[in-house]
Amino acid sequence: MFLNKSSEKSSSLMDDAAHSADQAIKSTQQMANDALENLTSALQDLSHQATPAIERAGDRVSSLAHRSLDGVRETTHQLRVKVEHASDNTVNYIRHEPVKSVLFAAATGAAVMALISLLSHTPRSR
């Protein structure tokens, strides 16, 4: 009889311990689920807040790229106009002053050749 009561008591204690362990597991699972739901919600909020900022940054970059491209086009156009103007002036000068133009070209060629000759004969220090 004493063994029977002791056995029942042990069995009851084991049942209580198993029940307590199950309750602890369920409670831990619920806490983990709640934490994951809170994290998911926070990430969604962050995503909703970040998306407009990223879109604004993309718009700014696009606008800057367009302005830069427009600036390059304008500068290229201005350079092209200046080159055409210089070319026209050169052709007009040659038409009106052909002898001076030939003499100027010959003098320029001679100066370039003298410079090349001077540089090719200069000893290089090592």
d(CA 67, CA 71): 6
Residue 53 near residue 61, CB atoms below 8 Å: no
d(CA 99, CA 102): 5
- DSSP 8-state class, residue 122: S
pLDDT at residue 125, as a whole number: 56
Residue 125's region, left for phi above 0, alpha for psi from -120 to 50, else beta, is beta
- DSSP 8-state class, residue 92: H
Mean pLDDT over 105-109 rounds to 95
CA 108, chain centre distance (Å):
49
Mean pLDDT over 81-86 rounds to 95
pLDDT at residue 123, as a whole number: 65
Flag whether pLDDT at 8 surpasses 90: no
d(CA 106, CA 108): 5
Flag whether pLDDT at 3 surpasses 90: no
Mean pLDDT over 11-23 rounds to 83
Flag whether pLDDT at 83 surpasses 90: yes
pLDDT at residue 6, as a whole number: 66
Band of pLDDT at residue 7, cut at 50, 70 and 90: low
pLDDT at residue 52, as a whole number: 87
d(CA 125, CA 116): 18
Band of pLDDT at residue 50, cut at 50, 70 and 90: confident
